[in-house]
Structure 1
Amino acid sequence: MSEQSALLQLGELLRESGYAFVTPTPVTHQRVNDRADNAVGTTLRDAFGWSRSFESGLLPPNVEGELIESGVLERDHDRLKSTVRWSSLNNLLLVHSAFPTTQEHSVFFGPDTYRFAQTIERHMRLNRCVIRRAVDIGCGTGAGAMLIAQANPQAEVFAVDINPKALAFTGINAKLAGLNNVACHTSNVLNEMEGQFDLIVANPPYMKDSRQRAYRHGGDALGADLSVRIVHESIEHLSVGGSLLLYTGVAIVDGQDPFLAAVKEAVDQPALDWHYRELDPDVFGEELLEAGYEQVDRIAAVELIVTRRLPV
């Protein structure tokens, strides 16, 4: 059995069992797993949410064997361990990389994803523009693309990423949800995409990562470079009445917001309306202990919405 087929089978099994798991920050995840009673998993949530090793027999024998054969489950001494996690988002179930996400091509899901989802849902609820064509830049698990596709079944929704693992997971997640209007494509931001979009969403990496792992590293300028690039490229692809919705993090230095300063000229145009706000003033505070963050006050989660104005 292929990995894709095995993951779809596992996702269906978890859904039928009533499985649900809200994924916390990595620090919280580690602290919970470090508790003495959590060394070995005994439930599906332990195995596929908390990424704990577990004894053979938790799953039906035929399913366990197929997951081992496909590489979804690996041997951990005399126990088993999943190479993936499954997280709940509304009525969706999404597969992503197991904890800890230390590998170069890890696909991350966590509190940022939930905030990103809330931002998308709020925008779609308040926005009157008909969404015919949309794109989720750096789609990861495909959460953004799937929320748009689910709310707009008539829309053509693209999920783009440079990470093949992210595109594979997005395809599995969309298929599990029965969404036929999500198309996965390899694209570096919007370089490989053509045409205009009624909605562009992005939740890019925004850390300054010393290892420059793709799922964490947002480039120089304390991790803001990729977010700035997304703003510039997306504006050119907005249809009339269309919006860019960017959820990102900003390293605040001496009370100043360098990301807003870097994009303000690009968005402050007669043809555009824009709105910017802090959603959370302090996220991932542990990153301030890392090299390069010595002068940073805090990391804020922010939302930027840019809309191409309708003709008067």
Structure 2
Amino acid sequence: MYAMLQHMAIQIASTAALADLGALLRARDYRFITVTPATHRRVNRRPENEWADDLRGVLGWSRPFREGVLPPDIEALLDGAGLLADCRNGQIRGRRSLVRASTIGDRLYFHSAWPTSDDDAVFFGPDTYRYAAAMQRALASPLLGRPPSDIRRAVDIGCGAGPGAIELALQCPQATVYGADINPDALALAAVNAGINGAARLVTCRSNLLDGVDGSFDLVMSNPPFILDPDELPYRHGGGEHGAQLSIDIVRTALERLNPGGSLLLYTGIAIVEGEDRFLDAIRGMLDEACSAWAYEELDPDIFGGQLGCEGYENVERIAAVWLHAVKRS
């Protein structure tokens, strides 16, 4: 429908402009809740949504816009940073933003524009909200191996745009929180988002699992990719049987690097096959051996239903959103 001429690449000029843009959006009390890609597609296909007519349409819904829609100061920041792309619909020319801005409560997060089809896309969606909410509950849970005030060193594996790490850093201001990811664009956006939201002790680092970060941790958290993606897009593909391999690897790595009494917090999606949770079957032995306590629950019994029609999911009944909180034995 629309022809775009480039994709996002976060550079130094982009990060400075995004920091300024974040301040402008917060001053304007900008709010946007990001929906699933399927919902996004359906809403944008409505005839009245062909073009953006306001700030949320441009920076939230990733709709093309014509001259005069964006406030001049916001358009100038995006343009100067190279974060606007020319596009056209038929004979009508317009532009699109190469970033989106979403909110969790009062916090603002930049991430990739929709659709997220590039290898280096930085994803943000409903799973992000579930992840942040589950983390908040865990910090208040009696299961937490140590009080939040005693957490000194933490890491978010696969931090993406940084919402999990930043929300944790704001709850535990005494802690150094590492945001680890393999994607340089994700790390650049996480650093920008940390600055916008006042998470001064967030440290970004390029890392596959924890191979780029030394030492042990009081808390390890993650919201990894968990889909069996035929294109193996890094932000979607979990590998192994039905996409669970990366989640299994994170459990193993976290248990090796946690301090005694430290917690692992994991949000992921699991394929249920003939009523069985094979991810739980794969990690149960590790948890029983290394942990003094652990809890596992389904947060949502049925997510990503459209995935069941894809190759590799022929015998899958449903995909469930699950939450694991494990405490390493002292």
Q: TM-score range by the shorter chain?
A: over 0.9
Find out whether 1:21 has 2:32 as its counterpart: yes
Q: Contact between 1:246 and 1:305, CA under 8 Å: does it hold in 2?
A: yes
**CA distance in structure 2 between the aligned counterparts of 1:270 and 1:248, rounded to whole angstroms:** 20
- Structure 1 residue 141 displacement after superposition: 1.0
- In structure 1, the residue matched to 2:47 is 36
Q: Distance in 1 between matches of 2:290 and 2:244?
A: 25
Q: What residue identity is the alignment partner of 1:21?
A: F
Tell me, in whole angstroms, the C-alpha distance in 2 between the residues paired with 1:269 and 1:237: 15
CA distance in 2, matches of 1:63, 1:203: 31
Aligned to 2:200: 180
User: Is contact 1:6-1:72 (8 Å) kept?
Assistant: no
Give deviations 1:115-172, integer Å, cap 9, x for gaps: 0001100011123432111000000011111011101111010000000011011000
Task: Show the counterpart of 1:92.
Answer: 107
1:301 lines up with 2:321 in the alignment: yes
The residue aligned with 1:219 is: 239
Offset of 1:75 from its aligned partner?
1.4
Q: Secondary structure in 1 aligned to 2:169?
A: helix
1:151 corresponds to 2:162: no
Q: Partners in 2 of 1:133 and 1:257 — Cα distance?
A: 32
TM-score, with length taken from structure 2:
0.91
The aligned runs of 1:197-208 (5 Å cut-off) are 197-208=217-228
Alpha-carbon spacing, 1:131–1:34, altered in 2? closer, same or farther (3 Å): same
Q: Which amino acid aligns with 1:198?
A: D
C-alpha distance in structure 1 between counterparts of 2:285 and 2:243, whole Å: 20
**Which structure 1 residue ranges, 5 or more long, are not aligned?**
none
Q: Following the alignment from structure 2 to structure 1, what is the Cα–Cα distance between the partners of residues 255 and 77?
A: 46
> What displacement does 1:306 show?
1.1
Deviation by residue 1:71-114 (Cα, 9 ceiling, x = unmatched): 11111232111001111012210000000001111010001000
* Partner amino acid, structure 1, of 2:217: F
Match of 1:251 among 271, 279, 295: 271
Q: Which amino acid aligns with 2:40?
A: H
State yes or no: 1:55 paired with 2:66: yes
Q: Percent identity?
A: 47
Compared CA separation, residues 74 and 271, structure 1 to 2 (3 A): closer
User: Any idea what the Cα deviations from partners look like across 1:219-243, whole Å, max 9, x if unmatched?
Assistant: 1211000000000010011112110
Tell me, yes or no, if the aligned pair for 1:7 and 1:72 is still in contact at 8 Å.
no
Structure 2: how far apart are the matches of 1:32 and 1:61?
A: 27
Matched, 1:80 2:100: no
Q: Is the 8 A contact 2:290 2:328 kept in 1?
A: no
Equivalent residue, structure 1, for 2:159: 139
Distance 1:263 1:271 in 2: 12
Matched residues in 1 for 2:160 and 2:301: separation? 24
Match of 1:46? 57
Figure out how many residues of one structure are paired with residues of the other and give that number: 310
State the partner residue of 1:10: 21
Deviation at 1:270, TM superposition (A): 6.0
CA distance in 2, matches of 1:225, 1:95: 28
Match status 1:68 vs 2:68: no
Instruction: Name the SS for the 1:287 alignment partner.
Output: helix
CA drift at 1:279: 0.7
What RMSD in Å do the two structures reach over aligned CA positions?
Answer: 1.3
What secondary structure is seen at the aligned counterpart in 2 of 1:250?
A: strand
Offset, 1:59: 3.0
